[in-house]
Amino acid sequence: MKHYQSIIAVLILLFIIKSVSFMQEADNVSLTDGDIEHYLLLAESYTKNVTMSGRTYQYPPLFPLLLIPASYMDTVTYIIILNIILSVLSFFPLYLISIRHTTFNKSVIIAFFVVLINIVFSIKSFGFPIILSSLLFAWFIYFFQDIRIIRNNLYYSSIIYALMIMSKLVFIYMLPFIIISILLFRDDKIKSLIRMSIIPGTMVCAYLLFNGLQHGFTTRGMIGGYITILTNDFLAIDIGTIIPKIQSIFTTLEPNTMMTYYSVFFVVLAMIWGKYKRDEYVIFSLKEIDFLILLSFNYLVFFWFPSMTYSYTYLNWRYISYFTPVYLVFAFIPLIDVFESVFNEILRILRKLQMKSE
């Protein structure tokens, strides 16, 4: 009961902090920035007859479905409230991932801190389904990391992965990570791959069929603006902009912040691997370390492909932002023990100094 009371108190505190933060920035948001106008138009199309271009209906339906109430109330207020709720709900999967490896108090602190500091859970996400996608990815990892132990987790992972694709099609790039993980961690490899693919595959086919019925059974009719991926440079990557995009990591807030988050993860992973090779105690088992290495591979796929897309000189940081809450949680799980040791040592020194002064 005490644990439930603590979690409720943390959720209330998070809700208050996020509400104050979002409302303070409400005047700075615009319904014409980013993709929000397309998501709103798509949401409106589910209840009314509206004309849409391929630029609009290219987006999958999950986030627009959540935006339907925005048509019947103040749009900015509704989206802000939705983002606050999704941010607070993200605490749960992050906490559950953490508590598998550390104590209750530490896992609460880690999940709270990640939701508090990560710019994913900020007004930066207003025009995009970033918070929704981050929430879904956190739940996906919570189940997927145990597919080798718990049979049903494969089905739960499959359902959540389908929802992820229906929030952003970019999650199709996760297939290499998913396939390799199943091949490494499951004994019934082929059967598991088939089971994992049925629900996401069905949803993608339904999405394409719906677009085809509405806009024609052509490539453009079924995938809309995403046709640029097929008609532009390789996967819409303009080779000439790669260097400027990498430079933006050092000169622009969002790319710099994303890479800082990942740098923490990679430094901690190297520390864990070094301790394991020296036969020292580490929080994660060898299988879990392998899983973290696969997460590193997943990051590299997204960094070199989706984040490099389109002819901009600005790293598409959104495409690597969805994963950062989970990656930070895995980084902070061992780090919090380091912080605790340093804090205890400081207290010990202060007590010693106090005793000498007396």
Tell me how far CA of residue 89 lies from CA of 23, 24, 111, in angstroms.
Answer: 18, 21, 11
Name the packing angle between helices 2-24 and 104-117 (round to 10°).
10
Task: Calculate ∠ Cα 312-313-316, nearest 5°.
Answer: 70
As a whole number of angstroms, the distance between CA 30 and CA 40 comes to 12
Give one DSSP letter per residue of 104-154, joined into a string. Answer: HHHHHHHHHHHHHH-GGGSGGGTTSSHHHHHHHHHHHHHHHTTTTT-TTHH
Tell me the H-state helices in the chain.
Answer: 2-24, 36-45, 54-57, 62-66, 75-89, 91-99, 104-117, 130-144, 153-165, 175-185, 189-215, 219-223, 228-231, 242-251, 253-277, 286-304, 318-321, 324-357
Collect all residues with Cβ–Cβ distance below 8 Å to 111 and sequence separation of at least 6.
91, 92, 94, 95, 98, 329
In angstroms, rounded to a whole number, what is the distance separating the alpha carbons of residues 154 and 194? 11
Angle in degrees, CA 296, 129, 34, rounded to 5: 105
Helix (H) or strand (E) holding 52: none
Helix (H, G, I), strand (E, B) or coil at 237: strand
Distance CA 353, CA 350 (A): 5
pLDDT for 40 equals 93
pLDDT score for 337: 86
* Beta carbons within 8 Å of 61's beta carbon, 6+ residues apart: 42, 46, 166, 207
Contact 60, 168 (CB under 8 A): yes
Q: What was the pLDDT predicted at 232?
A: 66
User: Alpha-carbon distance 78 to 214, whole Å?
Assistant: 28
Is the alpha carbon torsion for 227, 229, 233, 236 positive or negative? positive
pLDDT by residue for the chain (358 residues), tens only, comes to 568 888 999 999 999 999 998 888 777 787 877 789 999 999 999 888 888 888 888 999 999 999 999 988 889 999 999 999 999 999 999 999 999 999 999 999 999 999 999 999 998 888 899 999 999 999 999 999 998 888 889 999 999 999 999 999 999 999 999 999 999 999 899 999 999 999 999 999 999 999 999 889 998 899 988 887 777 666 677 777 889 999 999 999 999 999 999 999 999 999 999 888 888 877 888 889 999 999 999 999 999 999 988 767 889 999 999 999 999 999 999 999 888 878 777 888 878 777 777 6
Cα–Cα–Cα angle for 340, 341, 344, nearest 5°? 85
Q: What angle is formed at CA 29 by the lines to CA 11 and CA 15, rounded to 5 degrees?
A: 5
User: How far, in Å, CA of 322 to CA of 164, rounded?
Assistant: 10
